Amino acid sequence: MTNLLLKNDRLLRALRREPVDCTPVWLMRQAGRYLPEYRATRQRAGSFLAMAKNPELACEVTLQPLARFDLDAAILFSDILTIPDAMGLELYFVDGEGPKFRHPVRNAAEIAKLAVPDMETELRYVMDAVRTIRRELDGSVPLIGFSGSPWTLACYMVEGGGSDNFSKIKALALNDPKALHQLLSVNTDAVIAYLAAQRAAGAQVLQVFDTWGGVLSPAMYREFSLPYLTRIAKELDRGDTPLILFGKGNAPYLEELAASGTEALGVDWTVELSEASRRTQGKIALQGNIDPATLYGSPDAIRTQVRRTLDSYAEGNGGSREGHVFNLGHGLSPDMDPEHVRALVDAVHEYSKR
């Protein structure tokens, strides 16, 4: 429905596996520190959080990459850690150290106190940002809303920030799996409510980031991440709004993820798209999956890799480019060259033109 009003509906068409004039492309972390205009807005705002919590500034940085590059979607400028912040864990950032929580949760008693935050009060700034961005986009491209996965959110909530070895949450999984399931269950309820609220506010595509699913053993992935992703795909009431489940290291589980009821899967660069496409048998759309480090290569090298990635998808999809959304296998980094990003975006459209 919403796409009838869009000037560029390539992303929505690709997610429905419908024909498109060329393959749509957007990039994870397309708004960020690699752009000088982002650094300028951030300086003005004072901090990342001040920017993310101010709907006008969040809108401004969301639109920055679209003013520069021929991208086929905008992604809400926010963070996955807004949910635990609203649950009372208190998010803050230490320069050079990434996100941290003032009140991590470590045991069953602390987990039992958690509740789903109210979306239009405690997370109103996110919904206001969605409404503001939709208004400013004025139908040019669709807006992607997002959330962290229950497992990935739990990693930050238990570790209290980023982690190299996930020692605290893995210890919890081993010593008190019931408490961890309780945490994952409340996170799942919150993620479903959060995505539904973003959709109601105007998000036209929804993506779940399972950034840390790949650090689990297969047995633990199937116990602590997959069932909750599946619950989101099954229970999120989304009408014709497509859902993308992105997971770093999700390649071993593509068949199981494709059976969840999601419209699309986002994959990293450790799997060939030809293989991912064959294994999912055209049941869903696929998003990805160039290695972000490709952007450290020259524009010519980038163009070669873009062509390879497009052709790999088509090879596994009976020669057709339908059902492919081009993206990186993970996010852009602050030291990447915006001109290399431009080379990538333009090459996707050029080589995939029908």
Taking the complex as a whole, how short is the minimal distance between the CB of residue 44 and ligand CP3, in angstroms?
Answer: 12
Question: According to the annotation, is 211 in a ligand binding site?
Answer: yes
4-33: contacts with ligand CP3 (CB under 6 A): 28-33
Q: How far is the CB of 150 from ligand CP3 (least distance, A)?
A: 13
Can you list the alpha helix ranges (DSSP code H) found in 94-250?
A: 108-112, 124-137, 150-159, 167-175, 177-201, 218-224, 226-235
Three-state DSSP at 210 gives strand
Q: Is 98 in the site for ligand CP3 (CB under 6 A)?
A: yes
Catalytic (active site) residue 156: yes
Give residues 294-353 in contact with ligand CP3 (rule: CB under 6 A): 331
Total interface residues for ligand CP3 by CB under 6 A = 20
Annotated catalytic residue 278: no
> Please, what is the minimum distance in Å from the beta carbon of residue 99 to ligand CP3?
5
Q: What residues numbered 31-70 form the site for ligand CP3, per CB under 6 A? A: 31-33, 42, 48
135: number of Cβ within 10 Å: 10
Task: Identify the residue whose tokens are 């405690």.
Answer: 122
Task: Find out whether 324 is annotated in a ligand binding site.
Answer: no
Residue from 60, 79, 128, 159 touching ligand CP3 (CB under 6 A): that is 79
How far is Cα 294 from Cα 141, in angstroms, rounded to an integer?
A: 26
Paired sense of beta strands 98-101 and 91-94, if any: antiparallel
Of 30, 18, 99, give the one whose Cα is nearest residue 292. Answer: 30
Closer residue to ligand CP3, CB minimum distance, 64 or 317: 64
Q: Is the Cβ–Cβ distance between 153 and 81 less than 8 Å?
A: yes
Q: Is position 267 an interface residue for ligand CP3 (rule: CB under 6 A)? A: no
CB of 28: closest distance to ligand CP3 in angstroms?
A: 5
Check: CB of residue 276 under 8 Å from CB of residue 286: yes
* Catalytic member of 16, 29, 124, 222: 29
User: 164 a known binding residue?
Assistant: no
Is 311 catalytic? The answer is: no
User: Is 33 an active-site residue?
Assistant: yes
Residue 30 assigned to a binding site:
yes
Chain positions 173 to 192 lying near ligand CP3, rule: CB under 6 A, are none
For CA atoms 235, 241, 242, 244, give the dihedral sign. negative
Within residues 217-236, the interface with ligand CP3 by CB under 6 A covers none
* Among 254, 122, 231, CA closest to 184: 231
Place of tokens 């498109």: 20
Is 153 a binding residue for ligand CP3 by CB under 6 A? The answer is no
Residues 6 or more apart from 123 whose CB is under 8 A from it? 82, 83, 86, 117, 194, 197
Residue 137, interface with ligand CP3 (CB under 6 A)?
no
Q: Near ligand CP3 by CB under 6 A, which window of 71-79, 127-135, 187-195, 274-282?
A: 71-79
Q: Is residue 29 annotated as a catalytic residue, yes or no?
A: yes
Q: Which helix (H) or strand (E) holds 290?
A: strand 285-290
Tell me which residue of 339, 310, 343 sits closest to 325, measured CA to CA.
310
Interface residues toward ligand CP3, by CB under 6 A? 28-33, 42, 48, 75, 77, 79-81, 98-99, 146, 162, 209, 211, 331
What are the residue numbers of the active site? 29, 33, 42, 79, 156
Please state the residue numbers annotated as binding site for substrate.
Answer: 29-33, 79, 156, 211, 330
